[in-house]
Amino acid sequence: MYICICKGITEKMLMDQIGTHNHSQDQILKNLGIGDSCGACVVDAVKKILDNQNNLDSKTKKSDS
Task: From 17, 47, 12, select the one nearest 30 (Cα to Cα).
Answer: 17
Average pLDDT on 14-19 reads: 89
The model carries a pTM of 0.78
Hey, what amino acid is at 57?
A: D
The pLDDT of residue 57 is 74
The pLDDT of residue 65 is 60
CA gap 42, 38 in Å, rounded: 9
Q: All domains of the chain, ordered by start, with CATH?
A: 2-64 (1.10.10.1100)
Give the three-state DSSP class for 33.
coil
Phi, psi of 7 (to 5 degrees): -100, -5
Give the three-state DSSP class for 21.
coil
